[in-house]
Amino acid sequence: MVAGSGLIATLGSRIQRVIGRLPRRVFVVTSPEIWALWGQTFCASFSEPPIVLFLAAGEKHKTMASVEKLLRQMVAAGGDRGSLLIAFGGGIVGDVGGFTAAIFMRGIPYVQAPTTFLAQVDSSVGGKTGVNLPEGKNLVGSFHHPRAVFADIGVLGTLPDRELRAGLMESVKAGIIRDRTLVRFMEEHAEEILHRDARALERVIAASIRMKADVVNKDERESGLRMILNFGHTIGHAIEQVTRYKVLLHGEAVGWGMIAALYIAHRRRTITTSQAERMEKLIHLYGPLPPLKLSAARLVAATGADKKNVGGVRRFVLPIGIGDAGVVEDVTVTELEAAAKFMLARAAETAGSAESQPGGKRVAAPEPVIATAGR
Amino acid sequence: MVAGSGLIATLGSRIQRVIGRLPRRVFVVTSPEIWALWGQTFCASFSEPPIVLFLAAGEKHKTMASVEKLLRQMVAAGGDRGSLLIAFGGGIVGDVGGFTAAIFMRGIPYVQAPTTFLAQVDSSVGGKTGVNLPEGKNLVGSFHHPRAVFADIGVLGTLPDRELRAGLMESVKAGIIRDRTLVRFMEEHAEEILHRDARALERVIAASIRMKADVVNKDERESGLRMILNFGHTIGHAIEQVTRYKVLLHGEAVGWGMIAALYIAHRRRTITTSQAERMEKLIHLYGPLPPLKLSAARLVAATGADKKNVGGVRRFVLPIGIGDAGVVEDVTVTELEAAAKFMLARAAETAGSAESQPGGKRVAAPEPVIATAGR
């Protein structure tokens, strides 16, 4: 894993340093948007231009059909067991590209060059690749570790602001569950970070990756520590599911989910009032989170903890102070409902404040998309 | 790997002995034909009947689309990361079932219960799984080792005669390249083997598996020894390709390919005349091989060694005496053409003799399907 500036412009020689001579066929899986912005820079360091394969943007293209199309294009272009694949794009490009590399001729080496903040933090650890089925997300895939990951901070310069902020929610999460110092850094340097100061971003990315790698490594025997990475995800996933993954970015849903979880943690006194306020303030600092108009009952049902299933409430991650977290199994439906209502009330306030301060210093809220439970 | 009789009737408890308690969902991927014959026996040893997923027979169903269909059926039936898959059928069921297990939820355990002679010999070693693309065979897949392989000799009782004989070609190959004792056993016990005497079959299967495992294990560092497993395959593959995989079974094509390779070995004096005659006799003993009507030039072109590519003749496996083999890289187009012509002349004789001895003791030849190069 290398994080820094100017990596894409020098990628060819950097990859050679890792794997030796470049093979006869080098494939780049990327999106048309990223390639339009960065294709020329990308090609500069390759003596022979790589073969570009496009994957259209969007979760709906994260399918077996896309993978088969890529595989066939690779065969047609003369790909063989020695070929190399570079996944150059966001999380979907990384997942689909990595899975394509995992199964082409029973596996060829690949390199990740993630272009979103979220992918830069995520793709370095775990080697998870895969696609969706109509029945659900990430149901198909392989563990296939990239030979190297090059996270170019400079590329984040063209990342839409909303995506940067959503990605930063994962770093907020990292700080809250495991890294008090990161919390303080993100509180004190929000302006540099949001203005994409390379040094500030590099520090946040490095700390987030370190946290994740540390947790995953310590959990190799499935001790359960890894579960804490799901902080904010129980209700976050429920929001995504109820809005059919079409309204919020993943990080935004996790942001709201963390606010709901803070409420439960506060009620259970694993965090103090001032800690709860401080952490919620940090989440909003990297917002705005889009407004929500959902039914609390529907959200609770989507967590799998509905009334038919009272005994089966899933494991839930709660912060313990700032910089630590634990897993509990006894969160009740009543608690979940109260937390969802608290979160939805906050969302209503946010929507109001975004409307009343259109000229404020904060970046404009994303288009207020309102999903009702009945949609 | 367990080879023996009566394994299918006791599979449930045998699997439990390997993996512990059976999971909540056990899936069986099989063909309708096999299930009609053996489904009841199969289910006898499971306290809860497994969930049966059918894969239609034939190479044309060895596709990504089939895999996606199986994956979706597994999700719909409540499959999860703890589920088990059993591949119960021939080589295609094993390849497709194994690949499905490899990528379902990033990999679940699976068990092979091969029902053809060829699959029993092949599926025990290497962990290769995969499917075809329209561009070519086995271009997509994973290495995913089965938790156990149960080769039930009894199931071979319902295997069509032609398939048994084609499968036995792989054992003939095993003997010629690596196991003189197996050659002698197959010469002396052809009648028992072809009448499916359990003990004789078990011995041939065990020896064939041992040979393959031995070669693959010794070749873990890619020393090249594994190449000898391709004896008969250079011209065998060319025959399959020119006839578009529709006319001969794989073992039959390899049978003819071995005869062509024996010709080259004899001309190069790596085998004597009497050795060549003895090995060819053994091949025919496990025939009849279907007649061929092809052009020698077309076959040679299909090996990738056509005139445009004189310098690039591929590696070619030649027997050295009986029970040993080596790899050469200098086989010329002229030699290949002469070998193909010799083989095609033999094929013409076989076709003649099959017609002239319709009431002979040998099992009837398969329907004489004649493929011309132009088809």
Confidence tier at A126 by pLDDT (50, 70, 90): confident
| Residue A62 backbone phi and psi in degrees, to 5 | -85, 70
- SS (HEC) of B180-236: HHHHHHHHHCHHHHHCCCHHHHHHHHHHHHHHHHHHHHHCCCCCCHHHHHHCCHHHH
pLDDT at A363 over 50: no
Residue A70 exposed, middle or buried by CB count within 10 Å (0-12, 13-18, 19+)? buried
Contact residues on chain A for B68, CB-CB shorter than 8 A: 64, 133, 140
The band of A375, judged by pLDDT with boundaries at 50, 70 and 90, is very low
Task: List CB contacts of A359: < 8 A, sequence separation 6 or more.
Answer: none
Instruction: Tell me whether B2 touches chain A (CB under 8 Å).
Output: no
Q: Judge: B139–A75 Cβ closer than 8 Å, yes or no.
A: yes
Which amino acid would we find at residue B337?
E
**For A45-76, how does the pLDDT look when each residue is reduced to its tens digit (9 = 90+)?**
999 999 999 999 888 999 999 999 999 999 99
Beta carbons of A140 and B104 less than 8 Å apart = yes
The reply to whether residue B71 touches residue A136, judged by beta carbons under 8 angstroms, is no
Query: pLDDT exceeding 90 applies to what percent of chain A?
Result: 75
Q: With contacts defined as CB-CB under 8 Å, which chain B residues touch A64?
A: 64, 67-68, 71
- Probe site for chain B from A67, A104, A139, A143 (most B CB atoms < 10 A): A139
Q: Do the beta carbons of residue B77 and residue B27 sit within 8 Å?
A: yes
Name the A residues in 328-367 with CB < 8 Å from any B CB: none
User: What is the pLDDT, as a whole number, of residue B172?
Assistant: 97
The answer to whether residue A222 neighbours chain B at the CB level (below 8 Å) is no
pLDDT tens string B12-28: 999 999 999 999 999 99
Give pLDDT, residue A365: 36
Q: Which helix (H) or strand (E) holds A282?
A: helix A273-285
CA of A182 to nearest chain B CA: how many angstroms apart?
32
pLDDT truncated to tens, each residue of chain B (375 aa)? 888 899 999 999 999 999 999 999 999 999 999 999 999 999 999 999 999 999 998 889 999 999 999 999 999 999 999 999 999 999 999 999 999 999 999 999 999 999 999 899 887 778 899 999 998 889 999 999 999 999 999 999 989 999 999 999 999 999 999 999 999 999 999 999 999 999 999 999 999 999 988 898 887 655 678 889 999 999 999 999 899 888 899 999 999 999 999 999 999 999 999 999 999 999 999 989 999 989 999 999 888 764 344 344 478 999 999 999 999 988 999 999 999 999 999 999 877 665 444 433 333 333 333 333 333
Which amino acid is located at A152 in the chain? D
pTM of the model: 0.84
A97-107 pLDDT, tens digit per residue, is: 999 999 999 99
Query: Which residue in A67, A130, A135 is closest to B76 by CB distance?
Result: A135
Determine whether the interchain pair A142/B106 forms a contact, defined as Cβ–Cβ distance below 8 Å.
yes
Average pLDDT over residues A160-173: 95
Mean pLDDT of A255-266: 97
Residues in chain B: 375
Q: For residue A298, give the 3-state DSSP assignment.
A: helix
Q: Are A305 and A238 in contact (CB under 8 A)?
A: no
pLDDT at res. A221: 59
Residue of A nearest to B102 (CA): A142
Interval A271-322: pLDDT, tens: 999 999 999 999 999 989 999 989 999 999 888 764 344 344 478 999 999 9
- Between vectors from CA A122 to CA A133 and to CA A136, what angle results, nearest 5°? 15
Question: What confidence score (pLDDT) does residue A94 get?
Answer: 96
User: What pLDDT does residue A1 have?
Assistant: 80
- Amino acid identity of A181? T
Residue B375 has a pLDDT of 32
Alpha carbon separation from B78 to A132, A244, B27, B73, B83 (Å, rounded)? 16, 21, 11, 9, 9
Looking at chain A from residue 64 to 93, which residues have their Cβ under 8 Å from any Cβ of chain B?
64, 67-68, 71-72, 75-76
The single residue listed with the structure tokens 């499968």 is: B167
Residue B358: the pLDDT is: 41
Choose from A64, A81, A131, A140 for mutation: most chain B CBs within 10 A: A140
Q: How many CB atoms lie within 10 A of CB A108?
A: 22
